[in-house]
């Protein structure tokens, strides 16, 4: 196999990237995307501020561009994200609990309906837990006004709208075993025991020197898989360069391949040129779309060459 997509596919996995609609017209961007990846996640275009900027007024133009590009190339689409405290238009924060509940369920319903049948997996709820040792929920309009039950409610609504989409909980700093991942683990365990619909957990995997690839990464993925959910590496990027970065990338891929329910990996961007880490070089292609040592390490870990 000579591309990330074909090598991952030979291992029964997808290999995806975050995509920004605004770059699809750049030929090097599109040709790299099409040659190397078989899954996409809209980087910003499906977020609440983009899809429902004012109440019950939906706009899907730029997300549709990404979905139709992906469909034309036979790529999977990960929907990102339905319920998140960030990139949330201010009108949502102004609602009382009753209105917020109906707005949340309406948002999930309208967005999932629009893409019904076209989405492999949805990040239904994103980043609902705090960092640090408390294992507590993060303050957000949803948490503060609807209480702990908002996540369950979001997943139940999502299942009712598109029963064929996999429903994921997605978070960062949950990649190793720690207080935050323990809290998510306990939530997933509780959901599975009570029949709350959840199919997958996304591990964002944004790594840098302050937050390196954890030594218990594989063990952490495995303990979630053992609860009966798929695990997805959803937003992988690793700061650094050269052989150190390449080694880290290779280790992430090996960890996923060692966990049979780790069904795919998504990197958070095609090229360093457009990484959200401005000035950083955390991705597999440099700003001229040349393959980096990290690319070679990923391809080789996937069994390609």
Task: Please list every residue from 110 through 129 that binds ligand G3I, using CB under 6 A.
Answer: none
Which of 276, 280, 289, 293 touches ligand G3I (CB under 6 A)? 276
Picking from 182, 175, 171, 66, the residue whose alpha carbon sits closest to that of residue 123 is 171
Task: Please list every residue from 198 through 227 that binds ligand G3I, using CB under 6 A.
Answer: 204
In the residue annotation, 235 being an active-site residue is answered as yes
Site string for ligand G3I, 30-59 (x = CB under 6 A): -------------xx---------------
Nearer to ligand G3I, 7 or 170 (CB): 170
Angle between helices 150-161 and 179-194 (to 10 degrees): 50
Site string for ligand G3I, 141-180 (x = CB under 6 A): -------------------------------x--------
Nearer to ligand G3I, 87 or 243 (CB): 87
Q: Read out DSSP for 168-214?
A: EEEESS-SSSSHHHHHHHHHHHHHHHHT----EEEE--EEBTTBPPP
Nearer to ligand G3I, 204 or 218 (CB): 204
Query: Can residue 272 be called a binding residue for ligand G3I (CB under 6 A)?
Result: no
State the residue for tokens 């683990």.
Answer: 185
Nearer to ligand G3I, 199 or 237 (CB): 237
The torsion angles phi and psi of 154, rounded to 5 degrees, stand at -60, -45
Distance CA 207, CA 81 (A): 21
Q: Which two tokens stand for residue 300?
A: 């080789």
Give the active site residue among 36, 45, 235, 239: 235
Distance CA 67, CA 45 (A): 10
Q: Are 174 and 224 in contact (CB under 8 A)?
A: no
Distance CA 29, CA 258 (A): 31
Nearer to ligand G3I, 158 or 299 (CB): 158
Query: Can residue 86 be called a binding residue for ligand G3I (CB under 6 A)?
Result: yes
Q: How many residues does the chain have?
A: 305
Q: Least separation, in Å, of the C-beta of 36 and ligand G3I?
A: 19
Residues identified as active-site: 235
Sites of contact with ligand G3I (CB under 6 A): 43-44, 86-87, 172, 204, 235, 276
């Amino acid at each position: 196999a000579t591309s990330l997509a074909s090598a991952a596919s030979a291992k029964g996995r997808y290999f995806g990237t975050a995509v920004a609609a605004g770059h699809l017209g750049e030929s090097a961007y599109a040709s790299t995307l099409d040659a190397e990846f078989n899954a996409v996640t809209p980087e910003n275009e499906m977020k609440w501020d983009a899809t429902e900027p004012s109440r019950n007024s939906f706009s899907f133009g730029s997300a549709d561009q990404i979905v139709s590009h992906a469909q034309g190339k036979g790529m999977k689409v990960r929907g990102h994200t339905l319920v998140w405290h960030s990139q949330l238009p201010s009108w949502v924060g102004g609602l009382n609990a009753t209105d917020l509940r109906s707005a949340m369920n309406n948002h999930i319903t309208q967005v999932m309906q629009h893409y019904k049948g076209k989405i492999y997996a949805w990040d239904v709820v994103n980043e609902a837990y705090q960092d640090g040792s408390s294992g507590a929920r993060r303050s957000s309009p949803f948490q503060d006004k609807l209480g702990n039950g908002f996540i369950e409610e979001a997943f139940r609504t999502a299942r009712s709208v598109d029963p064929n989409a996999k429903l994921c909980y997605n978070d960062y700093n949950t990649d190793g075993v720690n207080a935050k991942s323990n809290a998510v683990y306990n939530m997933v365990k509780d959901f599975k025991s009570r029949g709350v619909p959840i199919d997958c957990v996304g591990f964002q995997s944004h790594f840098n020197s302050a937050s390196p690839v954890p030594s218990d990464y594989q063990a952490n993925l495995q303990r979630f898989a053992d609860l009966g959910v798929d695990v997805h590496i959803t937003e992988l990027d690793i700061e650094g360069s050269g052989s150190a970065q390449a080694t880290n990338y290779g280790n992430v891929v090996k960890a996923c391949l060692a966990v049979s329910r780790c069904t795919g990996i998504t990197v958070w961007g095609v090229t360093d040129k457009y990484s959200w880490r401005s000035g950083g070089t955390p991705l597999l292609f440099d700003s001229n779309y040349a393959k980096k040592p990290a690319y070679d390490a990923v391809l080789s870990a996937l069994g390609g060459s």
